[in-house]
């Protein structure tokens, strides 16, 4: 039995190819994008800030695990009224041509406590056949769990790289047509990714726009296969954060996010995954939550444009939060 707690530094994740669970236990260190990678490493990024790697060796998880006692992280949440007023402010910024799109997020808090938090990771793995499943603990940022539907970059120079534009959301349980707002929101991300690839390499293949199901949510999606003229770590710094998690233009959107969001995004909307000197498999940290002492904090958001409706946008965050919360609290 492996015993872990909120005082330890670790990550457990399901490998996207072998589907086997992997584990690394050690210490988190600041990651230097300029240094050569000496061994396969798991990295996690704080949204629009620093990136960390864990120094423990990645190995197959072959023992039972008990994870207990997450540390206390007192995060702020906001009322429905505050969130809707913030959306209205962003809509005004869009109408005044200050920005075109901005991602606004919030935290949904719920009482929760369990004797073994590894059981939640197992529930996610059993519930979702797709998505990147993980649970990790970082002393500065807490105990996080997630099942991300979005790849930031995956591949190598020999076989090429992959990314995709994932944006626009609707419930799988509602027979709704895609709106003009959804298509425009997705187009912003498509155009941004195309531009960044062409500035640093070239596209070898791209898909049509199709629906992508992620749990109870459906998104618009477009795949890109491409080759790079620069190293992939330099490209990561160019690509992230995308308009799918920040906005357009980037600097002004980040400024608005800082002004309107009362919480610290921390690892939400950062990236995480594995890298070595040849390969990378990095995901955007969405559909995620942080466990704090006796509660769970679900981080959710949505893309706001001039065509947004505050009630619809709030409802979207409710659906996203319940998608993850229903699995976490499932008996």
CATH of residue 313's domain is: 3.60.120.10
Domain extent for 175: 2-328
Whole-number pLDDT of residue 171: 84
Contact 185, 166 (CB under 8 A): no
Contact 163, 224 (CB under 8 A): yes
The Cα–Cα gap between 324 and 329 comes to 9
What's the predicted TM-score (pTM) here? 0.96
Whole-number pLDDT of residue 193: 97
Tally of CA atoms within 13 A in the half-sphere of 291 that contains its CB: 29
Structurally, how many domains does the chain consist of?
1
Whole-number pLDDT of residue 209: 96
The Cα–Cα gap between 196 and 120 comes to 37
Whole-number pLDDT of residue 35: 85
**Per the structure block, which two tokens stand in for 203?**
């596209």
Instruction: Please report how the helices 180-200 and 232-239 are oriented relative to each other, as an axis angle in degrees rounded to 10.
Output: 150
The Cα–Cα gap between 203 and 225 comes to 6
In this structure, the number of other CB atoms found within 10 A of the CB of residue 166 comes to 22
Whole-number pLDDT of residue 37: 84
Task: Scan for tokens 């995620």, then name that residue.
Answer: 288
How far, rounded to the nearest angstrom, does the alpha carbon of residue 84 sit from its chain's CA centroid?
A: 23
Whole-number pLDDT of residue 38: 81
Closest to 88 (Cα-Cα) out of 324, 328, 309, 323: 309
Burial of residue 321, with CB atoms counted within 10 A of its CB: 0-12 exposed, 13-18 middle, 19 or more buried: buried
In this structure, the number of other CB atoms found within 10 A of the CB of residue 187 comes to 18
Residues of the chain with pLDDT under 50: none
The Cα–Cα gap between 20 and 275 comes to 17
Quickly list H helices, 96-175: 118-127
The Cα–Cα gap between 221 and 238 comes to 21
The Cα–Cα gap between 290 and 75 comes to 10
How far, rounded to the nearest angstrom, does the alpha carbon of residue 18 sit from its chain's CA centroid?
A: 22
């Amino acid at each position: 039995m492996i015993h872990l707690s909120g005082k330890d530094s670790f990550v457990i994740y399901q490998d996207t190819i072998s589907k086997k669970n992997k584990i690394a236990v050690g210490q988190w260190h600041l990651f230097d994008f300029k240094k050569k990678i000496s061994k396969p490493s798991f990295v996690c990024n704080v949204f629009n800030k620093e990136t960390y790697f864990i120094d423990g060796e990645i190995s197959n998880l072959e023992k039972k695990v008990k994870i207990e006692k997450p540390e206390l992280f007192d995060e702020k949440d906001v009322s429905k009224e505050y969130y809707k007023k913030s959306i209205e402010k962003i809509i005004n910024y869009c109408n005044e041509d200050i920005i075109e799109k901005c991602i606004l997020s919030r935290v949904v808090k719920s009482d929760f406590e369990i004797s073994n938090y590894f059981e939640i990771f197992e529930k996610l793995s059993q519930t979702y056949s797709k998505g990147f499943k993980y649970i990790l603990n970082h002393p500065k940022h807490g105990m996080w769990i997630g099942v991300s539907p979005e790849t930031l970059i995956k591949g190598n120079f020999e076989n090429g790289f992959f990314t995709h534009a994932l944006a626009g959301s609707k419930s799988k349980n509602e027979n709704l047509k895609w709106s003009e707002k959804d298509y425009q929101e997705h187009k912003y991300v498509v155009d941004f990714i195309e531009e960044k690839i062409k500035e640093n390499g070239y596209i070898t293949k791209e898909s049509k726009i199709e629906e992508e199901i992620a749990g109870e949510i459906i998104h618009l999606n477009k795949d890109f296969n491409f080759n790079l003229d620069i190293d992939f770590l330099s490209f990561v710094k160019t690509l992230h954060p995308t308009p799918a998690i920040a906005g357009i233009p980037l600097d002004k959107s980040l400024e608005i996010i800082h002004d309107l969001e009362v919480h610290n995004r921390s690892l939400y909307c950062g990236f995480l995954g594995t890298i070595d000197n040849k390969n990378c498999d990095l995901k955007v940290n969405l559909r995620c939550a942080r466990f704090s002492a006796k509660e769970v904090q679900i981080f959710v958001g949505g893309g706001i444009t001039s065509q947004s409706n505050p009630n619809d946008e709030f409802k979207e965050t409710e659906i996203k939060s319940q998608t993850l919360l229903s699995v976490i609290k499932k008996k």
